Amino acid sequence: MNDLPQQLASGLILGAMYGLIAIGYTMVYGIVQLINFAHGEIVMFGAFGGLTAWLILPKGTALMLALPVMLVMAVGVSVLVGIGAERFAYRPLRNAPRLAPLITAIGLSIMLQQLIWSFYPDAKKARTFPQFGGESVNILGANVQRGELFLLIAAPVCMIALGFFVAKTRTGRAMQATSQDPDTAKLMGINTDRIIVTAFAIGAAFGGVAAIAYGLKYGQIDFKIGFILGLKAFTAAVLGGIGNIYGAMVGGVVLGLAESLATAYIEHIPGMELFGGGAWKNVWAFVLLILVLLVRPQGLLGERIADRA
Amino acid sequence: MRHRSLLIITTAVAAGSLVLTACGSRGEDSGGKSGGDTTVTIGLDAPLTGDLSALGQGIKNSADLAVKTANKKKEVDGVTFKLQALDDAAQPSAGQQNANKFVADDKVVGAVGPLNSNVGQSMQKVFDKAGMVEVSPANTAPELTQGTNWRTGKKERPFKTYFRTSTTDAIQGPYAAQYMYNEKKLKKVFVIDDKKTYGKGLAATFKGEFEDLGGKVVGTDHVDPKEKDFTAVANKVAKAKPDFVYYGGEYPAGAPLADQAKKAGLKGPVVGGDALFSAEYVKLAKKNSEGDIASSVGAPLETLDSAKEFTKNYEAAGYKLPYEAYGGYAYDATWSIIQAVKAVAEKNDGKLPEDMNDTREQVSEAMQDVKFDGVSGKVGFDEYGDTTNKQLSLYEVKDGEHKPVKTGTFEED
């Protein structure tokens, strides 16, 4: 049986999710050269925001109707946490050595996890997330779950909107200017503080969308989901060339495909029987990262090596 | 200047939270002797938080019920029991720390727990050194009682203070294999495990028996139980078209795995051991759990007379969470320690020895001969510390609930 379409579809779906989250890393890095390691937890907060919306809505509400509310709530919560992180954890350290905000980010990520663990009702174990019922849809020979369709629609829509925003709006152009040279941008009258907050907010909003996609895809969320998701998305961002928003998406898709195909096919290569299978997928994902960095240190779509180290 | 004050606040918060954590873990020091009455503590170790907390809380509540019942009935004259529960969060290192804490506390006479076999492994030595008895209600890895060479038939008991009220994977996996092959007539299986002590062992014993019977293993794979994304494995399963999947592992990963495998196109059920026998499994896998089968040790509690009183008392005690898969075994494990203490007290003219070390030693010895009608049936221990009760049951998910489909004793053929 030819299952290549299925593996490609799975990889693409997974990759779209990584890509959405990777935007959060790449936008922030592109503008302030900071790796926001708490971004995975911002996504996790969004997922719990979405779940809260679902729980508050009257029982029996159709998921199709509830989805917009959940989406707004998830994005809202993520953006709030993202902006809060910027304002209280990163801004005070903006002129500190590069290491300080990195450590703060790790601390922040653990703090956010523990907040959910301690205060969200019943969050010490996995919480179920509403899911679309019904049969999966066959697209070009691959089975795609209804919940995953959301991702396939949301990811391109978000990307196009972001591309338009960055290229065409005043704020978007100010963003590009700030990312090229923040000091000169400031001299030109750009309010760089506002631009940085915007970058955090946009990244977090994408994270909120990804959070809903995650919940719909897997049907359950817990306080730890941010860690692996964040790490994978960060990898995607680096793969694509950190700082480049299209790179984030490309990196995500490449990573998702690599994971899916490696798990399915590597064990069929003679001599590699031992190295296939589910337990190895993260190994291959990171092997790929190392290979790309060795051959093309700036990432797939990266144009320049950070010139303001 | 603002930077510095922020740093100070952060440091203060961090330090404060550390202090708080330390406070939380400090044991209570009350108890001791008062007016001829002795209070002894029974330690309990289980995952009270984390993914497996549903099972752990069930164990804790059931042990608590046993202690309360013993005190109310004055089961051991002049001795009052107290339960001290510590959380291992399913981590071997935390379990070992807890074991050390129990051993260092000279009021602790014995311990119940833990849930996970790999945690049990890390605790055995600590208890053995102190001569303190440990009775696990849920460890099923054979090597814990029969040594690492149990597969070759060279059974050797590594720790004489370790006992358990649950049966081992050595019979749980094969029991399910016989049922699936002989009665369900399903001949093709895909075997997955999580590479942990419990899951790996269970999957291996299942696979061995299933192949011996003539069944075909069409594929094997492993998953990382810390993840939720099993699409890749699920696709592989769907492609191999097995009649069913056997999963050696616990429900936090087992449920999403079953869910995703069925979405990918698996037609048959997912079968597993007692760590899938939880209401949480059904809750997480939702309607994709229908038809899935879990084996568990002992007979279904609802069918045993000895268990009816337990279920009634458990309800009456008003615990917030259900007793789950291991509640009955936890009650029996606790009760067996109480019985051992009773035997020691009777031998010493109704009193426990002055020195806790003597008490511990004598309790461990007495444990070997403990026999009573427990919640899970007749409780007693063989020369390895394993339960003499070799009953097993299979449960199938029907209408969102695990319903018993078969109970019996495993027969080697």
- For B51-102, the pLDDT digits (tens) are 888 899 999 999 999 999 999 999 999 899 999 999 999 999 999 999 999 9
User: What share of chain B in percent tops pLDDT 90?
Assistant: 65
pLDDT digits 0-9 by tens, B282-315: 999 988 999 999 998 778 877 888 888 899 999 9
B6-10, B55-59, B229-233: which is most confident? B55-59
Chain A closest CA to B163's CA: distance in Å?
A: 29
pLDDT at B409: 84
Enclosing domain of residue A174: 7-132+143-295
Read off the pLDDT of each residue in A214-218 and give the average, rounded to a whole number. Answer: 93
Contact A41, A230 (CB under 8 A): yes
- Inter-chain touch B232–A128, beta carbons under 8 Å: no
Q: DSSP letters along A158-211, please? A: HHHHHHHHHHHSHHHHHHHHHHH-HHHHHHTT--HHHHHHHHHHHHHHHHHHHH
Read off the pLDDT of each residue in A174-201 and give the average, rounded to a whole number. Answer: 92
pLDDT at B152: 80
Nearest chain A residue to B231, by CA:
A10
- Number of domains forming the structure of chain A: 1
Is A232 a residue whose pLDDT tops 60? yes
Q: What share of chain A is helix, strand, coil (3-state, %, to 5)?
A: 75, 5, 25
A192 touches chain B (CB under 8 A): no
CA distance A40 to A188: 34
Is A72 a residue whose pLDDT tops 70? yes
Read off the pLDDT of each residue in A218-243 and give the average, rounded to a whole number. Answer: 92
- Which of A92, A220, A225 lies nearest to residue B3, judging by beta carbons? A92
User: Is A107 part of a structural domain of the chain?
Assistant: yes
Chain B closest CA to A146's CA: distance in Å?
A: 10
Residue B206, Cβ neighbours under 10 Å: how many? Answer: 30
pLDDT at A304: 55
User: Is A2 part of a structural domain of the chain?
Assistant: no
- Inter-chain touch B224–A279, beta carbons under 8 Å: yes
Q: What is the DSSP letter of B115?
A: S
Find tokens 């749980």 and name the residue. Answer: B172
pLDDT at A238: 93
CATH number of residue A169's parent domain: 1.10.3470
Nearest Cα to Cα of residue A158 among A27, A49, A50, A45: A27
pLDDT at A267: 79
Domain residue ranges in chain B:
38-167+301-381, 170-296+393-409
Q: What is the mean pLDDT of chain B?
A: 88
pLDDT at B25: 42
* B170-296+393-409 homologous superfamily: Response regulator (3.40.50.2300)
CA distance B410 to A194: 70
Contact B404, B300 (CB under 8 A): yes
Is B30 a residue whose pLDDT tops 50? no
A267 touches chain B (CB under 8 A): no
Read off the pLDDT of each residue in B251-280 and give the average, rounded to a whole number. Answer: 93
**Which residues is B402 bridged to in the sheet?**
B397
Q: What is the mean pLDDT of chain A?
A: 90
Question: Which of A281, A282, A283, A284 to mutate to probe the B interface, most B CBs <10 Å?
Answer: A281
User: Is A138 part of a structural domain of the chain?
Assistant: no
Q: Which pair of tokens denotes residue B293? A: 């089968």
* One-letter amino acid of A248: A
CA distance B231 to B249: 17
Q: How far is CA B321 from CA A15, B48, B318, B332, in A?
A: 39, 12, 9, 19
Nearest Cα to Cα of residue A233 among A85, A10, A42: A42
Q: Which residues, including other chains, have CB under 8 Å from residue A133's CB and lie 6 or more apart?
A: A146
pLDDT at A303: 66
B170-296+393-409 shares the fold of B38-167+301-381: yes
Nearest chain B residue to A88, by CA:
B6
Nearest chain B residue to A147, by CA:
B263
User: Is A306 part of a structural domain of the chain?
Assistant: no
State the ipTM, two decimals. 0.78
| Overall CATH class of domain B38-167+301-381 | alpha beta
